[in-house]
């Protein structure tokens, strides 16, 4: 079993209004040692690739009217439930990228850090906050049904708001409620393995070769903290209405398909002294409708962790995560069924400044 050391520094610089002529620098240093065991129905791999949240890097202006920013930044959909992810930027993050392709073991929520986003976040209005962002296509090139009977040739995204994201959040007296919607431009996942998109279909070595329609994601979340107890719930729906499904050798299964997935997670935490024990469980169900037959999968995920505060700015943690999935599809008159299991252990240190 291989071990790897991850050292990720997350930093951002925000320029305050010119009248103040001040600059605030803040960030986070996060280092961890992670051990991953990945078992596929056709092979077994002990491995891990470097993973991490990357960084928000942007410029912005803030005032009584809210905050305006431009740069690489989390979308409003991602922000809306960020505080409900008890294992955020850690092995048990509720995102997904496990197996040889990465090392996150969550139920597959679709979090995006957009490049060159133009965003606005409203002021806090008695606990209620709104956020919106648009993302230019900036010449993103992708093909549609390449070589198939419905081939429409190469496409380019050049609009100012080819992708957009909106969210509303309410936080007051320990209660957090949120709802968000995101529309990601066609071509965003051109030539992408399904294992990078859906944990429930990750055992199938299939490629989302192209999509001629935007990916639509909507999410709701709720959390409540009372004294030392915290409980959270997040639900998300993901849809592609027009996708091409290919094998890894680029042979076509179906050039026109519909993809839909539902992901949910419930989590809880208990604080005692300088410690927090936390647990999360979630599932992902995905279905793809094709002319050659259905593709379906289901996965289960759970993570158990312990955090220990060494100081106000420094925290150590340890956690164990496990995920398993089963998937089936029909192609060329044959039925295919595959499964996989992934588990991991992680210890880490986080320092904020």
Q: What is the pLDDT along the chain (353 residues), one digit of tens a residue?
A: 433 333 333 333 333 344 445 666 777 889 999 888 877 654 333 333 333 345 788 888 999 999 999 999 999 999 999 999 999 989 999 987 755 445 678 888 988 888 889 999 999 999 999 999 998 876 555 555 554 445 455 556 667 777 899 999 999 999 999 999 998 876 566 556 666 677 877 777 677 665 556 788 999 999 999 999 999 999 999 987 776 676 655 556 666 678 889 999 999 999 999 999 999 999 999 888 777 777 888 999 999 999 999 999 999 999 999 999 888 876 666 777 778 888 999 999 999 88
- Residue 333's domain spans which residues? 2-351
Residue entry with tokens 């993901």: 238
Beta strands in the chain (DSSP E): 4-15, 23-40, 44-46, 57-63, 66-74, 113-121, 128-135, 140-144, 153-157, 163-172, 175-184, 192-193, 206-211, 215-226, 229-247, 252-272, 275-289, 295-309, 314-331, 334-352
Number of domains the chain contains: 1
Output the domain CATH number for residue 148: 2.40.160.10
Residue 293, classed as helix, strand or coil, is coil
Q: What is the pTM of this model?
A: 0.82
Nearest to 199, CA basis, from 153, 152, 249, 265 = 265
Euclidean distance between CA atoms 182 and 273, whole angstroms:
39
């Amino acid at each position: 079993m291989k071990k790897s050391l991850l050292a990720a520094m997350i930093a951002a610089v925000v320029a305050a209004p010119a009248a103040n002529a001040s600059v605030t620098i803040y960030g986070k240093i996060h280092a961890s040692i992670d051990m991953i065991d990945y078992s596929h129905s056709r092979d077994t791999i002990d491995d891990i690739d470097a993973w991490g949240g990357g960084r928000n890097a942007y410029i912005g202006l803030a005032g009584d009217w809210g905050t305006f920013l431009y740069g690489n930044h989390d979308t409003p959909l991602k922000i809306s439930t960020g505080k409900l992810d008890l294992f955020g930027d850690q092995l048990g993050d509720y995102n997904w990228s496990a197996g040889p392709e990465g090392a996150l073991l969550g139920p597959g929520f679709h979090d995006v850090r957009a490049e060159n986003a133009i965003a606005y976040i409203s002021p806090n209005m008695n606990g209620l906050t709104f956020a919106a962002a648009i993302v230019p296509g900036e010449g993103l090139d992708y093909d549609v049904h390449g070589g198939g009977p419905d081939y429409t040739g190469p496409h380019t995204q050049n609009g100012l708001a080819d992708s957009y994201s909106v969210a509303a959040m309410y936080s007051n007296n320990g209660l957090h409620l949120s709802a968000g919607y995101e529309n990601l431009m066609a071509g965003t996942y051109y030539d992408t393995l399904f294992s990078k998109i859906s944990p429930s279909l990750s055992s199938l070595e299939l490629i989302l070769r192209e999509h001629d329609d935007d990916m639509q994601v909507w999410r709701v979340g709720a959390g409540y903290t009372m004294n030392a107890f915290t409980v959270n719930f997040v639900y998300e729906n993901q849809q592609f209405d027009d996708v091409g499904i290919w094998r890894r050798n680029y042979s076509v299964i179906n050039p026109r398909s519909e993809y839909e997935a539902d992901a949910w997670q419930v989590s809880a935490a208990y604080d005692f002294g300088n410690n927090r024990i936390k647990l999360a469980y979630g599932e992902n169900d995905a279905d793809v409708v094709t002319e050659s037959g259905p593709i379906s999968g289901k996965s289960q995920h759970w993570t158990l962790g312990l955090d220990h505060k060494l100081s106000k700015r420094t925290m150590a943690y340890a956690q164990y995560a496990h995920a398993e999935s089963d998937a089936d599809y029909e192609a060329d008159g044959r039925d295919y069924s595959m499964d996989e299991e992934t588990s991991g252990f992680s210890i880490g240190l986080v320092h904020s400044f």
